Amino acid sequence: MPTRKTPLDPARIRKFLRDHAEGIDRDPLTNSVFSFALQLFQDLEAGRTSLSSVAETVDVLHFDLLQARADQFRAHHTEIGKPKDAFAGVSAQLSALAKSDPERFRETVTRHAGGIVFTAHPTFALSQRLRRAFADYASQPGKSELATLKSAASDPQPDWPDQITLTHEHEEAQDAIANAQDAAGHYASLVVNTARKSLDDWRTLRPVLPTLASWVGYDLDGRTDIHWSQSITLRLREKAAQLAYYRGRLSNFAEFETLAALEKQLAAAQAHTEAAAEKFGQDLSDPDVLSDAANFLTAASDAKITDAATLTDPLTTLIEDTDTPDETAAALMILRAEIDALQLGTARIHLRVNAAQVRTVLQRDLDLETEDSELGRLALSKLSEMAGNTEVRPVNFADLFLEQSTARRQFMMCAQILKHIDAGSPIRFLIAESENPATVMGALHLARQYGVDHELDISPLFETPEALETGGRFVERLLEEAAFRDYVRTRGYLSIQLGFSDSGRFIGQVAGNMAIERIHSLIGRALGDVLPGTGLLVFNTHGESIGRGAYPGSFQQRHDHLLTPWTRGELLARDIQPIHEVSFQGGDGFLHFATPELSRATYAAFCEHILSEPASTDDDAFYTQTDFVWDAYRALRNWHETLFVDSDYEEMLGGFTAGFLVKAGSRPVKRAGGPSGPSAIRAISHNAMLQQLGVPLNSACGIGSAMPREKERMRDIINASPRLHALIMLATRARMLTSLPVLRGYASVFDPHVWLAVSRHGDIAQASALRRVADTLGENHTAASLQKIANRLSVDLIEFDTLIASLDDAPSVESRHENRLDFHALHAIRQALMLYALSLTGRLSDLSARHDTSRSDIISLVLAMRIDEAADLLEEIYPPSRGEADLFQHINEPGHESGAQSQAGYDRLHRELIAPLRQCGALVSRLSIATSHAFGAWG
């Protein structure tokens, strides 16, 4: 094979990939990605290039993708950098409404219409420093900000994953919430100022702001590492911070004696709360320590404030007093609106448990019939009767200490928070994996048992295929029970949660979206038939990437994607008020609130959404040609469900792919216990794995196979239907990032034939090392499984590409290929590094039996991309010299090992094998982060 050097300049890499891809007409088996990987691998083997040179190229490619991501992110926050304010659109909406219909304006701005929820999970893949630089550049893209972003991008920060703890996630959430509070205050000022211009009795207005909420520190679904005392401590710290914020706001009114006294009261309450947080932050496993903390918090004290009315009542008195100047009254109205929205915390609490945790309590404690172990109709009827006749139990912190069941402990904690920390803030009680109405009824019984149902919004989460299919009947059955109807009537709305991430994992994003829209409709219909005049609170949870429910467009498109205009219009027609909540998840989601500028743009976009009237969908073919649309849905869903249980799919996600994932949060990648295979992998990690393989198939695939015989009709409906067109554009965006050459390249890494061929004909250092790798791969099924999945996707994408090409606004194939060249370059480099790392371990001599491991074991670790583990094991077996000879420099007798050329350690092995292996592992992780930029998020 002729000797040549693979280009490492990004522009030349792109040319290499472009030129090789053009050769596919001559050689249909051409794979430009693996061709580059193979040449780079041989250059590393032959010493024509170095890992440090590869690292420099990775940095350049990473930064190019990062900057492109930041520029696109900035574009989504449309008003940043423009002459007008981010709230200009909101201001125009409010002014127009107030002028045309003052009473409707009053009704609109004083009703609860929705909110923003901050969630966490493993999405902190970018270091904190890099995210801050990203946000600063997106907010103000100057030369200085760009230089800082570039510096942060080239700093791998290897210690970052160890810094991601629950406490860290909570701090990051609180930073984002602080900026969101600023934006909420700005919206409040617009409402009040508009009212002053349009309403004679403007002082009587009590605006309701879009709410802020957080489950960071309170979410126990799938994790057992959050102790109840941590949640109490975090809530106390949040309360102390919010009291300090209110104090700062009141300091502007020192001339008012009432408010000066209130500020003094707040100072005492803040000190008391901080002291309580300090006590609950100690080790409460000691009963004496717990008793001290509990007694301090629960004791009567003039310093305590547990009801926000203590703050808002004096403000209302001054606002309504005609002697209070208009400017002051308006400022106090703004502050009162913020207090009404947040009460005595920085954000509302979202607790979350799993349905199984609730079910366990009910089966254990309520003596349900054993033949009704799945909580069927008998259990529902019994629980409904019990919920209607529940005697409230007293609760103290000793009860929390002694209680063993997670679900009951959460209800007890709600009681203690409402009694002793914040009496007026509604608490959301989310129940994940809800598939049975008796679980919700049981939760209502427990809520009444602990006297918290008056402030607790019990919310089932529909995310599994079964739940999405039966959710409408689920709610219908609940509403048949008088106890549940009374509960909803008292709360004023029914709360539900829909999981875009998990539904997209099981049945694909497009089918998942269709199923979610359907369940919105079915639940709205059920509620409208029984309780017209109430509200339906829909919390749509999603991540920031297309594979987890985030629409790849403007905020308006995203919000209409989550809760469609058709759904909103149908709810209003049934006299049901839609209340829409959306999530911003973890490091990627918090970026939207990382600076005041970004936060205002994000919050303003949400305000525009909830203030707007839903667009008419009367002529949308998606809603008129329902037989065809739902036939397509069933076929699409079946395609994904069949793939999800395929053994080759399990092989693809069950081996080396997990090694590409970096630790990105405090919650585990897989659920403890429960099912195995892809079902055990969380939605974030599942989506991240597909990203890292270059095939976001849960968004891009299945459509081509859904209705292959009616492509023309599908094309016509897509062109005529805004709703279906939007869904197909999401899938098209994913298709632009889908690369079968990338997936087949990874298959080639695991193909023993490739290793044998290169060992014979390649330009490599040690042919025997490659043959050892090939031998280890002899019984490995990864290559075959990846190729089978690639073949399956190829058949589907051929049909989908034909459909896309027939659309009115089809993206060009040329632009798709050109736009993913950097993406291909990253994968090709990673495949070369995988080959090189395996080749390095293939050079090992046979290991001594005393080490209880073999060369094949080391190679297998690297095959699983557990490169650091392999390096650690090798370092333990072959320790380096540690300078011990210097300790004996005063011994006069000559010796060999203690001489200047000591070989007591394995320094050469470290230099030539272990150190490069570690560098390969580090570069693989950096490439994982870089790859995520193409998708706009991690996972």
Q: What is the pLDDT of residue 1?
A: 41
**Cβ-contact 837, 862 below 8 angstroms:** yes
In whole angstroms, what is the distance from residue 194 CA to residue 568 CA?
Answer: 26
- pLDDT greater than 90 at residue 230: yes
pLDDT bucket at 569, cuts 50 / 70 / 90: very high
In whole angstroms, what is the distance from residue 90 CA to residue 86 CA?
Answer: 8
What are 121's two structure tokens? Answer: 């999970």
In whole angstroms, what is the distance from residue 305 CA to residue 307 CA?
Answer: 6
Q: What is the pLDDT of residue 370?
A: 39
**Mean per-residue pLDDT for 400-406?**
90
**Mean per-residue pLDDT for 123-136?**
95
Q: Tell how strand 493-499 and strand 577-585 pair up.
A: unpaired
Q: What is the pLDDT of residue 852?
A: 76
Angle at 129 between CA 124 and CA 130, to 5 degrees: 70
DSSP string of 507-543, one letter each residue? H-HHHHHHHHHHHHHHHHHHHHHH-TT-EEEEEEE--
- pLDDT greater than 90 at residue 724: yes
Which sign does the torsion angle of CA 124, 128, 132, 134 carry?
A: negative
**Mean per-residue pLDDT for 588-606?**
96
Q: What is the pLDDT of residue 802?
A: 93
DSSP category for residue 882: -
Residue type for 281, please? Answer: G
- Helices marked H in 763-781 — which ranges? 767-776
pLDDT bucket at 593, cuts 50 / 70 / 90: very high
Share of the chain above pLDDT 90, in %: 77
Output the pTM of the full model.
Answer: 0.94
Task: Identify the CA nearest to 504 among candidates 473, 463, 469.
Answer: 463
In whole angstroms, what is the distance from residue 182 CA to residue 602 CA?
Answer: 12
In whole angstroms, what is the distance from residue 649 CA to residue 668 CA?
Answer: 21
Give the residue, 673 or 441, on which the prediction is more confident: 441
pLDDT bucket at 142, cuts 50 / 70 / 90: very high
- pLDDT greater than 80 at residue 803: yes
**Cβ-contact 453, 447 below 8 angstroms:** yes
Residue environment code for 661-682, b if the CB has 16+ CB neighbours within 10 A, otherwise e: bbbbbbbebebeeeeeebbbbb
Say which range, 359-373, 731-745, 919-933, has the weakest mean pLDDT: 359-373
Q: What is the mean pLDDT of the chain?
A: 91
Rounded to the nearest 10 degrees, the angle between the axes of helix 722-736 and helix 782-805 is 140
Task: Identify the CA nearest to 708 among candidates 794, 802, 806, 792.
Answer: 802
**Mean per-residue pLDDT for 427-438?**
91
Say which range, 258-267, 733-742, 744-753, 814-823, has the weakest mean pLDDT: 814-823
How far, in whole angstroms, is CA 151 from its chain's centroid?
26
**Mean per-residue pLDDT for 75-96?**
82
- pLDDT greater than 80 at residue 553: yes
**Mean per-residue pLDDT for 186-191?**
98
Half-sphere exposure of 558 (CA within 13 A, CB side): 26
Name 538's bridge partners: 496, 580
**Cβ-contact 114, 581 below 8 angstroms:** yes
pLDDT bucket at 579, cuts 50 / 70 / 90: very high
Q: What is the pLDDT of residue 901?
A: 45
Q: What is the pLDDT of residue 220?
A: 82
pLDDT bucket at 372, cuts 50 / 70 / 90: very low
Task: Identify the CA nearest to 715 among candidates 804, 598, 634.
Answer: 804
- Helices marked H in 615-654 — which ranges? 621-624, 626-644, 647-654
pLDDT per residue over 664-696, tens digit each?
988 777 665 556 788 889 899 999 999 999 999
pLDDT bucket at 902, cuts 50 / 70 / 90: very low
Angle at 579 between CA 249 and CA 570, to 5 degrees: 155
**Mean per-residue pLDDT for 163-186?**
96
Half-sphere exposure of 572 (CA within 13 A, CB side): 15
Q: What is the pLDDT of residue 85?
A: 84
**Cβ-contact 678, 650 below 8 angstroms:** yes
pLDDT bucket at 490, cuts 50 / 70 / 90: very high
pLDDT per residue over 607-663, tens digit each?
999 999 999 999 999 999 999 999 999 999 999 999 999 999 999 999 899 999 999
- pLDDT greater than 90 at residue 458: yes
Q: What is the CA radius of gyration of the chain?
A: 30
pLDDT per residue over 880-895, tens digit each?
876 555 566 677 677 6
DSSP string of 449-466, one letter each residue? HTT-TTTEEEEEEE-SHH
Domains in the chain, ordered, with CATH? Answer: 10-61+624-841+926-933 (no CATH), 348-580+602-617 (3.20.20)
Taking the chain, what is the end-to-end CA distance rounded to the nearest angstrom? 41
**Mean per-residue pLDDT for 887-909?**
64
**Mean per-residue pLDDT for 849-878?**
87
Q: What is the pLDDT of residue 371?
A: 44
**Cβ-contact 731, 699 below 8 angstroms:** yes
pLDDT bucket at 224, cuts 50 / 70 / 90: confident
Give the residue, 654 or 369, on which the prediction is more confident: 654
- pLDDT greater than 70 at residue 904: no
Q: What is the pLDDT of residue 362?
A: 84
Give the residue, 309 or 22, on which the prediction is more confident: 309
Q: What is the pLDDT of residue 79?
A: 60
**Mean per-residue pLDDT for 88-109?**
96
Say which range, 324-328, 471-475, 589-593, 886-890, has the weakest mean pLDDT: 886-890
pLDDT per residue over 54-81, tens digit each?
999 999 999 999 999 999 999 988 765 5
* Residue 212 φ then ψ, to 5°: -120, 135
pLDDT per residue over 503-527, tens digit each?
999 999 999 999 999 999 999 999 9
pLDDT per residue over 843-861, tens digit each?
988 776 566 788 888 999 9
- pLDDT greater than 70 at residue 3: no
pLDDT bucket at 388, cuts 50 / 70 / 90: confident
pLDDT per residue over 292-339, tens digit each?
999 999 999 999 999 999 999 999 999 999 999 999 999 999 999 999
